[in-house]
Structure 1
């Protein structure tokens, strides 16, 4: 088995601050580059993008990253038109694609697929593009990269994550990355949206949390994952990022959301025009971070 499999990125707790710094440095270089001159790096390479769950930003940013590097993406979106419709398992699908020897695999899946076990069965790196509730490493990295860009550093920042943390793989990855980069994380939301045993501070009041935060990040309300109904009107009033609610947030703070946004629930449309709001810059950062990860983990020999 190739040693390059050790380049898989399944979580963030295994990365050092220096390694994350290198990812950010490479992303910085791409941010200032002529896109048309980048496409020689991955000439002749292929990357399999296996998205067993729906995605817009993550899938398209990985495709864009591949295109900018000259890597040919092999795309699989859901079950339609594949042998999954005939009863093939997700694991068998991945192993069969791996047998075609792409240079790396990008996988988005639910908790029913074990990416850690798969990484020991294939010879190429696996990049986690969202794994059940376990984590979404590239999203947390692009969030941190955006914070660094606008606030100068991630260290000692105070990130308030508001909303459906219990079902959020983005929050799970931020818990890991905070320990690597030295920022604080706190939570706010209805009790049924929060972890049963939170490992970070929890604010019962959104206003208290916003007064504390240097970054306020809303999460999508994942009602499809809840057994009982919850009033979206009540949620917006108590925890929604409305113009009124955000008055307690510092003028120097950032407003973020990993998307997709349920406008009028987690965030009002007017807030997207707030100069503190960095939702679209997050998307731009996502392409740069995924370019950097593909180069470092899949086109080079070492991270």
Structure 2
């Protein structure tokens, strides 16, 4: 497979992907969701490696379920129990797995820009499962899929993304993708958690909860130790989706969250499974979306 073909099948981000290409993935996800069979032989005899150089349970498991449903052989690789701990570089690790004959790789890593550099040298398609605070394309794809499924169309939707925008790859991927479909995106964040390089309007919490989609981001509580967060209680008071704030949302609006959720910090516990919440449906939708992405990479 040529490098050009490999790069076409790779999914490094949504910033440079066309609306048509994104929609084709969403359409294929709908096909897999509606398919009566739970498992398939489509990728029988093909090998895919999940290479996670940053902790993840939900995303890795979702990818693994998607891969196994397509019939692929799955190799899970986590950095904590690997040669990376001994100083082996991420690039060398990926090259090692490529040399062993994998057909594609799913990668999560912290350094920004490294994934794009590797994709120019590695001869198998790579799927971004989250790189630093750059992008998290499959999370945004499952978010768009969830919104499209609920509202029918993304055009004209107002989506408010609330929380630590500065460190959020989810916010970036959603912003890039939603704008291609004609949705309006606004951000709401404490001043020290805003991303100045993104050309987006920041609104108050009261304005944010008036959107069609209220998307809460996970508060990274470790930022409390770094002084970015005064306390979990103070954050909830100013930027949490409380029961009282949710009562002021529009009747047709939905609540979203990429999870894992800090209950009673960014969102009150009783709202997580409220009728307006799409948090667990988002997780369900992640499997067919990742099936579509993996199929696109390997078939």
The answer, yes or no, to whether TM exceeds 0.5 is yes
2:113 and 2:88 map into 1 onto residues whose CA distance is 13
Which residue number corresponds to residue 205 of structure 2?
206
2:86 and 2:23 map into 1 onto residues whose CA distance is 44
The within-5 A match list for 1:278-289 is 278-289=278-289
Secondary structure of the residue that 1:165 maps to in structure 2?
coil
The within-5 A match list for 1:224-235 is 224-225=222-223, 227-228=226-227, 229-235=229-235
The within-5 A match list for 1:89-128 is 89-111=89-111, 114-128=114-128
Aligned-pair distance for 1:196? 3.0
1:171 and 2:134 aligned: no
Aligned-pair distance for 1:218? 0.4
1:130 and 1:118 map into 2 onto residues whose CA distance is 15
1:93 and 1:33 map into 2 onto residues whose CA distance is 36
The one-character-per-residue Cα deviations of 1:61-104 (angstroms, maximum 9, x if unpaired) are 10000110000111012221x21222211111111111112111
Contact kept, 8 Å, 1:90 with 1:113, in 2: the verdict is no
Using the size of structure 1 for normalisation, the TM-score is 0.93
Contact kept, 8 Å, 1:163 with 1:219, in 2: the verdict is yes
- 1:9 aligns with one of 8, 11, 21: 11
Which residue number corresponds to residue 72 of structure 1?
73
- Larger displacement relative to structure 2 (83-92 or 250-259): 83-92
Aligned-pair distance for 1:225? 4.3
Give the aligned CA root-mean-square deviation in angstroms: 1.5
Secondary structure of the residue that 2:209 maps to in structure 1?
helix
Secondary structure of the residue that 2:128 maps to in structure 1?
strand
The one-character-per-residue Cα deviations of 1:213-238 (angstroms, maximum 9, x if unpaired) are 10000001123246314222111112
1:261 and 2:254 aligned: no
Aligned-pair distance for 1:112? 5.5
Aligned-pair distance for 1:152? 0.8
Aligned-pair distance for 1:197? 4.5
2:190 and 2:273 map into 1 onto residues whose CA distance is 26
Which residue number corresponds to residue 145 of structure 2?
145
